[in-house]
Amino acid sequence: MTAYLVTILILASISAIVALGLNIQWGVAGLVNFGVVGFYSVGAYATAIVALGGGGAWGGLLAGVLASAVLSALIALLTVRLTDDYLAIVALGLAEVVRLVLLNEAWLTGGPLGISGIPRPFAGLVTEANYPVLLLGMILLALAATLLFAEALVRSPFGRALRAVRDDDTVAAALGKDALSLRIKAFAAGGAIIGLAGALHAFYITYIDPSQFTSIVTAYAFMAVIAGGRGSNIGLIIGAGSIMALLEATRFLKDFIPFLDGTKLAALRLAMIGAGIVLLLIFRPQGAMAEPRLSARASRPEAELKPDRLSERKVLPHAS
Amino acid sequence: MPRKPVAGMLPVTRRHALGALGASAASVAFPFVISARAQAAEIPIGMVLPFSGATGAYGPDMKKAAELVVGRINDAGGILGGRKLRLYIEDSETNPTTGVAATKKLLEVNKVEAVGGFWGSPIALAARPIILAANKVQMVSASADAITDGDTKGLIWRFQAKSTQWGPAGAKIMQSLGMKKVVLLAQQNPFVLAMIEPFKAEMAKLGGVVADTVVYNPDQPSYRAEVEKAFGGDPDGVFCLSLLTDFSSIAKEVYKGGFKSKIVALSIGADAEGKFLANVGAEVAEGIHHLQPAPPLDAPSYKKFVKAMGAPEGAVFLFAGNAHDQVCTIALAMEKAKTQEAALWTKAIPEVCNPPGEQVDDVVAALEMVRAGKKIDFIGAGATCDFDAKGDQLNRSFLHQVIEKGKNRIIGTVS
C-alpha cells in the first residue's frame, strides 16, 4: 500500500514539476508550448543516453536538464516572430519531430525498443525495493526547489517584465524591455524544468521508449495549469495533484462497483476529467488560485470606484 | 497593505485549499479501507490489459476468458485447501507509464502473486523491473524477445510466440502461395522489427527474393508514399507487418491505387477481432491473406474454450486463450507447490505444463490430478503450454487465413 502511494506521489510530483515549467512559459510569459512532451522526452532520453554512456546518473540528470533548456532556447530564438497560435503550432511540430527521431534513430535512442536499465542516483544506498521511497524524497526536494525558483521568478522584476511582455509586448518594448531576450530566457527556464521532470521520469521507470511520451503528457500539464490557476505556482501543484488523484482513485471504482468494467471505466475516467475541466472553466475560470499580482488600486484608492479592468481581462488569452 | 479579493472572483482562503486537498486525499484513501478487509483468505492475482488506446480491442475478451477460469476454479472449491482466487484487472491504456502505475497498484494494494495479461511489448518491458523487484511472477502475451532476455529469476513466462518466430511463418506462407519476389512493408515497432531478419533468412532458404524493405512510422495521416514504394515495383507479394489502424489505411491506399500484388498481413492488422473488415469493408479486404499465432483450432481444449466463451464454433480468439492459460497455469503451479509464494510456485510451472505427464486440458480436472499426486501435462486453450528454460512458449503454430467476400476462410496452419 505504502509503496503504491509512493508511486502515485512520484507520478504526481513529476507532473507537478512539468506543470511548473509550463507555467513559466505559458502562465507567466504567455508562450503557448503545445510541445511539452517533446522537451520532456528529450530530458528523459538525454539522461538515459548520458547516464549509460559513462556520465553516471548525475551526469545524465545534468545532461537532461541542459539538453531540454538548450533546445527550448533554440526554439524560442527560431520562433522570434511568432506568438500565440503560431508558436503553439511550431511547438507541436517540434514534439512530433522529436518523437520521430526517438523512434527512428535506433543507434542513439534504441528506436522503438527504447533504452532499459537506466542507472539511478544513490542506487547503492538502499535495496531495490526501498529505492522508490528514496527517489520520492529526491523528487520532492526537486519539486520544492523548482517551486521556490518559480515563485522567486514570478515575484522578481524579471517576472513582472515577463508578464508585461505577455500582456502587451509593444508596450513593454516601448518601455525599454527587451522582449526577445525575455522570451528566450523564459522558454529556456521552463524547458530546463520540464527536462528535469523528464530525467526524473527516466530514473523512476528505468526503461524509456517512445510510447511513453505521447501528447497526453502535454494535455495533463495544461490541465494542471488550467485547474490550478494560470500564473499561480501553488495553485497548479494542487491542480496537478488533483488530476493525478482523480486518475488513480478512479482505478479503484471497478474493484467495488461490479457493473463497471475496464472498458467503461476507461471511457468514464476521461469523460470525468473532461467534464471537470469544462465545469471549472465555466465556474472558476481563474483556476484554484489566481495569479498573484501587485494591484495598482492599492495605491490609487479611487480606482475601486471604477469598473474592475483586471477581472474583465480574458483569462486565457492564448489558449484558443 | 490589505489584500482584497478582486471583484467577480471567489476568494480562495487557506481553508478552501486545505479542504480541497483533504477531499482529494480522502477520495484516494477511501477504497483502501474496504479493500484491506475483503482479501483475507483469498489469493489475489492481477492482470494488466488494454481497454483503451490503440490496442483496446483486445482487453475485453482476455478479461472475459480470465474471469471464466477464475469462476470455474472458485466454483469447484478453489485451490490450496479451499481458498478462492481473486482476480484484479487494470487498464494499461496501451501506455507503458500507465501500465507501470497499474502494475504497482496490483502489487502493492492488491498484493497479487502474479501479474498477467500484458498485451504489447513496451508495457511488458516497462513493468518487468517492478515485478522482478517484488519477486512476483510476470506472465505476458507479448512478443518482443527482450522480455525474456537477461536475468528473469525464472519469474517471467511468455504465453505468446516470440517475434522471431513470426517471420519464418510468414515466409512459408508466401512460399506456399507461389510468391517469389516479395517486398516487406513494416511498421517501426519493436515487435514487428524483430520479425524482419528471420523472415529474410527463411525466404532466402526457400529460394525467394526480398526485393525491398520499407519501414514506416505509425500514426501517419497517410501511407501513400510507403504504399507506392512497396507496391510500385509490382512484386508477387507484399508482407505487411502492420497493426490495425495503419493497415486499414494501407489496404485502402492499395485498393485505390489499383496495385495487383497480393498482400500477406498479420491478423492483428487484417483481422483484429473483425475490426479490420468493419473499417474497410469487404471489397477492399478481398483476397488479403493473414497469419497469427493460432490457438490449436482443432484441439478439443480450444473447442471447449470457444464454447465456454459463448462464441460460435470456429471462432478464433487470438489472445483470450492466452489469458485463460495464464490463470490456469498460476492455479496449477500454486497447487503443485502447495504455496501462494510466487518465488516458489514459479518453479513448478514446467512440472505441470511440460511433458512427460498425463495430458489434461480442463483446469478443474487438472487440479484434482495434481492433488492426487499425478504428473500432468496441461494443455491450454491458446497453446499446448509447454515452456523452454527461458520461459518462452514452445510449439506455437500459426494460422493462415484469407479474406473472401467479407469472411475469413481458414487455409491451414503453419509451424
How many whole angstroms from its chain centre is CA B273? 13
CA distance B407 to chain A (A): 27
Reported CATH class of domain A2-312: mainly alpha
**Predicted pLDDT of residue A230:** 80
pLDDT: is A204 or A289 the higher one? A204
Report the complex ipTM.
Answer: 0.70
Which positions 185-214 of B are in contact with A (Cβ < 8 Å)? 188-190, 193
User: ∠ CA B378-B120-B193 to the nearest 5 degrees?
Assistant: 110
Q: Where are the alpha helices (DSSP H) in chain A?
A: 2-22, 36-50, 56-78, 84-104, 106-109, 131-155, 157-167, 169-174, 179-205, 216-228, 233-249, 253-256, 262-283, 309-312
Split at pLDDT 50, 70, 90, the class of A292 is low
CATH code of the domain covering residue B360: 3.40.50.2300
Split at pLDDT 50, 70, 90, the class of B352 is very high
pTM of the full structure: 0.75
Average of per-residue pLDDT across B351-367: 91
- For a pLDDT cut of 70, what percent of chain A falls above it? 88
Please list every residue in chain A whose beta carbon sits closer than 8 Å to the beta carbon of residue B102. Answer: 251
Split at pLDDT 50, 70, 90, the class of B33 is very low
- Is the pLDDT confidence value at B29 over 70? no
**Residue B27 touches partner A, C-beta closer than 8 Å:** yes
| Whether B267 and B213 share a structural domain | yes
CB B266 within 8 A of CB B240: yes
- With 0-12 CB in 10 A as exposed, 13-18 as middle and 19+ as buried, what is B159? buried
Please list every residue in chain B whose beta carbon sits closer than 8 Å to the beta carbon of residue A207. Answer: 96, 125-126, 128-129
Split at pLDDT 50, 70, 90, the class of B36 is very low
Domain count within chain B: 2
| Whether B266 and B401 share a structural domain | yes
Domain range spanning residue B182?
A: 163-294+396-414
Where in chain A are the domains?
2-312
**Predicted pLDDT of residue A320:** 40
In a domain, B32, yes or no: no
**Predicted pLDDT of residue B222:** 87
| Whether B184 and B55 share a structural domain | no
In a domain, B59, yes or no: yes
- Is the pLDDT confidence value at A14 over 80? yes
**Partner residue opposite B90 with nearest CB, options A206, A251, A311:** A251
Average of per-residue pLDDT across A188-193: 95
Q: For the segment B85-131, what is each residue's pLDDT rounded down to a tens digit?
A: 999 999 888 888 889 989 999 998 899 999 999 998 889 999 999 99
User: Which range is least confidently modeled, B8-22, B161-175, B301-315?
Assistant: B8-22
Q: For the segment B291-334, what is each residue's pLDDT rounded down to a tens digit?
A: 988 787 778 888 899 999 998 887 878 789 999 999 999 999 99
| Whether B290 and B402 share a structural domain | yes
| Whether B404 and B336 share a structural domain | no
In a domain, B387, yes or no: no
**Residue B357 touches partner A, C-beta closer than 8 Å:** no
| Whether B274 and B347 share a structural domain | no
CB B141 within 8 A of CB B159: yes
Q: For the segment B242-278, what is each residue's pLDDT rounded down to a tens digit?
A: 988 899 999 999 998 889 899 999 988 888 778 898 8
**Predicted pLDDT of residue A101:** 92
| Whether B401 and B283 share a structural domain | yes
CA dihedral over B197, B199, B200, B204, signed as positive or negative: positive
Q: For the segment A51-103, what is each residue's pLDDT rounded down to a tens digit?
A: 999 889 999 999 999 999 999 999 988 887 776 678 888 899 999 999 999 98
In a domain, B312, yes or no: no
- Is the pLDDT confidence value at A310 over 70? no
**Predicted pLDDT of residue B107:** 92
| Whether B402 and B285 share a structural domain | yes
| Whether B111 and B100 share a structural domain | yes
| Whether B71 and B190 share a structural domain | no
- Is the pLDDT confidence value at B184 over 90? yes
| Whether B226 and B237 share a structural domain | yes
Mean pLDDT of chain B: 86
**Predicted pLDDT of residue A311:** 47
Q: For the segment A144-184, what is each residue's pLDDT rounded down to a tens digit?
A: 999 999 999 888 999 889 888 888 888 888 888 888 889 89
| Whether B51 and B118 share a structural domain | yes
**Residue B104 touches partner A, C-beta closer than 8 Å:** yes
Q: For the segment B52-61, what is each residue's pLDDT rounded down to a tens digit?
A: 877 888 888 9
- Is the pLDDT confidence value at B175 over 70? yes
Which residues face B65 on adjacent strands? none
User: Which range is least confidently modeled, A280-294, B304-318, B374-388?
Assistant: A280-294
Task: Give the separation between CA A283 and CA A15, rounded to whole angstroms.
Answer: 24
Task: Give the separation between CA B368 and CA B335, rounded to whole angstroms.
Answer: 10
Average of per-residue pLDDT across B327-350: 94
| Full 3-state SS string of B320-386 | HHHHHHHHHHHHHHHHHHCCCCHHHHHHHHHHHHCCCCEEECCHHHHHHHHHCCCCEEECCCCCCCC
- Cβ count within 10 A of residue B200: 18
